[in-house]
Chains A and B, each alone.
Chain A
Amino acid sequence: MAINPDILDKPLVTGSDAGALVEFVNELTTLNLGPTHPATHGIFQNILQMDGERIVRVQDTTIGYIHRAFEKLAEHRPFYQITTITDRLNYCSSPINNMGWHMTVEKLLGISLPKRAQYIRVIAMELARISDHLICNSILGVDTGAFSGFLYLFQEREKIYEIYEEICGSRLTTNMGRIGGMERDLSPLAIEKLRKFLKEFPAVMKEFEALFNRNRIFMDRTVDVGPISVADAIDYGFTGPNLRAAGVDYDVRVMNPYSSYEDFEFEVPVGTNGDTYDRYLVRNEEIWQSLRIIEQALNNLPNDGFHADAPHYYLPSKEDVYTKMEALIYHFKIIMGEIDAPVGEVYHAVEGGNGELGYYLISDGGRTPYRLHFRRPCFIYYQAYPEMVKGVTLSDAILILSSMNVIAGELDA
């Protein structure tokens, strides 16, 4: 919505006091939104020039409040210790980051995984995608004033976290999987919990959609709010649900399948005009598609082992370490970071919760990466934010920010 330039010239009050008021009205207010505003769900600062409720322009955008220099840290760590760094990028979907990193290193090392390991990874990644989208969409609901949807969905997110716990032992920063496979097989309890989740979650999701999708207030608040055209979205480097909401069906899982995504049947939802409502709908539909993928993976789970045969890089089982000489040696070498990686230059991308998450890894043949660059989707598309909020009201700007799914940990790396 464009600002009417006449607003600035039009006096609100006429009469004897008009002179003073006109001066007041003509002045723009500078509003400091953030860095710790509760509605921004992270630490972002935007200095806005406001004309009443409307944003005339974003004067400055400050990021980097939780910058931890991951790229520098990664240059000083053995490969397997970098997984914990990737946890802390997009912390709403850590397993995707973990698997993306493992796959990057596996590509460099030339390890190919058995199908079962790949399928387990797909299950973990799709669970992560669901929980990522759940948070984004339910928080969007909270920002429009509807709190209950958020509570309903957070109960389900808790169940996803319980499945994570069964798979890898932790919840938020999962450190899931290993270079060369998964650390352990899916336990019977994990499969049971997955089945239970697949059975019970759709009803909750349907309820959530019934609450929001055709909700008059929600639609009024989100339809045509913060739209972005296809050309702008591509030029600003949008990927993931935000790009698909604008109408481009670019999905890394389809275009460059990894971890056996080509085995599964799923659809890539796209929107039409890339507004907040479209982004919301695309995420919802992706949750349904993720459920489809998990179900297919679980039903067709092959039985060929949960890790590759790569003793130089994959930690041996504890039992072997205590009983076999070779396993003890490998265990020691891997843990002490004394494994040299081959020389190479790799780029591997996965479809993260909010876009193309890429790892650009340069190895000089040493024990740590020579250079590791994270292509963080929200760092790249967040720069379109000042453009997108131009002319909208302050309350809409908050909605646009939450619908873009900008995660501070990933933004600042």
Chain B
Amino acid sequence: MAFSNQQLLDDLQQQFANSILLVEEPFGLLTIETNRDVIINMLSYLKGHTTFQFIFLTYLTAVHYPDQKEKEFAIVYHLHSWVHNFQLRIKVFVPSPNPEMPTATVVFRSANWMERETYDNMGIHFVGHPDLRRILNVEEMDYFPLRKEYPLEDQLRQDKVDSMFGR
């Protein structure tokens, strides 16, 4: 590894002075929190940086924390620098009603379907996405199933008659 967590962090802190909100290292994986104003700049900075070379977006997803006020949704970007075998996780928290994020498709083309999936599951609106439609669920669906307020079917429900299912 050509650089350490600290070196990368120092560089980012210099570059995005007040936008590194929180730093963690769960299981050695550097995890930083930033805000949505700088995230796209940060992604393209990291991708284009001659030393770091975070050229690969491993995954992009979202997590719902309904109890955190004004920080209900975390959008998670996982970058991988193959040259140095260095992984970095970036989180951005957005507030709940109509969560909006700038699209990362301008930096990574692979973000296209990942953002569609995130929109489909969590209802995050990626502003500027070329084709933000549902991808796994049906178009007519009017809710976002991976949000915590949608429970799985109640196992005790009475309105399903067993004989209808051949049991």
Seen from chain A, the residues whose Cβ lies within 8 Å of a Cβ on chain B are 63-64, 67, 69, 71-73, 76, 107, 234-237, 248, 250, 255-256, 344-347, 349, 356, 358, 360, 362, 370-371, 373, 375, 379-383, 412-413
- Min Cβ gap A390→B in Å is 15
Measured CB to CB, the nearest residue on chain A to B116 is A383
Pick the residue among A76, A349, A383 that contacts B110 (CB under 8 A): A383
Q: A347-B78, A360-B61 are in contact. List 7 more A-B contacts (CB 8 A).
A: A63-B135, A64-B136, A69-B146, A72-B145, A107-B27, A344-B26, A358-B59
A-B contact count (CB 8 A): 82
* A residues near B59, Cβ cutoff 8 Å: 358, 360, 373, 375, 380
Measured CB to CB, the nearest residue on chain B to A371 is B63
- Tell me if B58 and A375 are in contact (CB < 8 A): yes
Pick the residue among B110, B121, B138 that contacts A235 (CB under 8 A): B110
- Tell me if B152 and A71 are in contact (CB < 8 A): no
Instruction: Report how far A20 CA is from B56 CA in the complex, Å.
Output: 51
Q: A73-B152, A234-B55, A413-B136 are in contact. Are A346 and B26 (CB under 8 A)?
A: yes
Seen from chain B, the residues whose Cβ lies within 8 Å of a Cβ on chain A are 26-27, 29, 31, 55-59, 61, 63-64, 76, 78, 82, 85, 87, 89, 108-110, 112-114, 117, 121, 135-138, 145-146, 150, 152
- Tell me if B110 and A380 are in contact (CB < 8 A): yes
Pick the residue among A71, A349, A375, A379 that contacts B113 (CB under 8 A): A379
* B residues near A371, Cβ cutoff 8 Å: 63-64
Majority secondary structure of chain A interface residues (helix, strand, loop or mixed): mixed
* A residues near B137, Cβ cutoff 8 Å: 64, 67
- Min Cβ gap A109→B in Å is 12
Pick the residue among A237, A255, A375, A382 that contacts B82 (CB under 8 A): A255
Instruction: Report how far A37 CA is from B104 CA in the complex, Å.
Output: 34
Pick the residue among B26, B55, B61 that contacts A373 (CB under 8 A): B61
- Tell me if A235 and B109 are in contact (CB < 8 A): yes
Interface centre among A71, A73, A235 (most CB of B within 10 A): A235
Instruction: Report how far A71 CA is from B145 CA in the complex, Å.
Output: 10
* B residues near A383, Cβ cutoff 8 Å: 109-110, 112-113
- Min Cβ gap A112→B in Å is 14
- Min Cβ gap B91→A in Å is 10
Instruction: Report how far A237 CA is from B82 CA in the complex, Å.
Output: 12
* B residues near A107, Cβ cutoff 8 Å: 27
Instruction: Report how far A25 CA is from B65 CA in the complex, Å.
Output: 56
- Tell me if A71 and B121 are in contact (CB < 8 A): yes
Instruction: Report how far A258 CA is from B85 CA in the complex, Å.
Output: 14
- Tell me if A236 and B110 are in contact (CB < 8 A): yes
- Min Cβ gap A356→B in Å is 7
* B residues near A250, Cβ cutoff 8 Å: 82
* B residues near A248, Cβ cutoff 8 Å: 82
Instruction: Report how far A344 CA is from B76 CA in the complex, Å.
Output: 15
Instruction: Report how far A349 CA is from B87 CA in the complex, Å.
Output: 12
Measured CB to CB, the nearest residue on chain B to A370 is B63
Measured CB to CB, the nearest residue on chain B to A67 is B136
* A residues near B114, Cβ cutoff 8 Å: 380
30 residue pairs A–B, Cβ–Cβ below 8 Å: A63-B135, A64-B135, A64-B137, A67-B136, A69-B146, A72-B150, A72-B152, A107-B27, A235-B108, A237-B58, A248-B82, A256-B85, A344-B26, A345-B26, A347-B27, A347-B29, A347-B58, A347-B87, A349-B58, A360-B59, A371-B63, A375-B58, A375-B59, A380-B59, A380-B110, A380-B113, A380-B114, A383-B109, A383-B110, A412-B136
* B residues near A358, Cβ cutoff 8 Å: 58-59
- Tell me if B63 and A237 are in contact (CB < 8 A): no
- Return the 5 tightest CB-CB contacts between A and B, nearest first: A237-B110, A64-B136, A67-B136, A375-B59, A373-B61
- Tell me if A69 and B145 are in contact (CB < 8 A): yes
Measured CB to CB, the nearest residue on chain A to B27 is A346
- Tell me if B121 and A237 are in contact (CB < 8 A): no
Interface centre among B61, B76, B108, B136 (most CB of A within 10 A): B136
- Tell me if A347 and B89 are in contact (CB < 8 A): yes
Instruction: Report how far A63 CA is from B117 CA in the complex, Å.
Output: 11
* B residues near A360, Cβ cutoff 8 Å: 59, 61, 76, 78
Instruction: Report how far A381 CA is from B112 CA in the complex, Å.
Output: 11
* A residues near B58, Cβ cutoff 8 Å: 237, 347, 349, 356, 358, 375
Pick the residue among A63, A67, A237, A373 that contacts B56 (CB under 8 A): A237
Instruction: Report how far A413 CA is from B113 CA in the complex, Å.
Output: 14
Q: A67-B137, A255-B85, A345-B31 are in contact. Are A76 and B113 (CB under 8 A)?
A: no
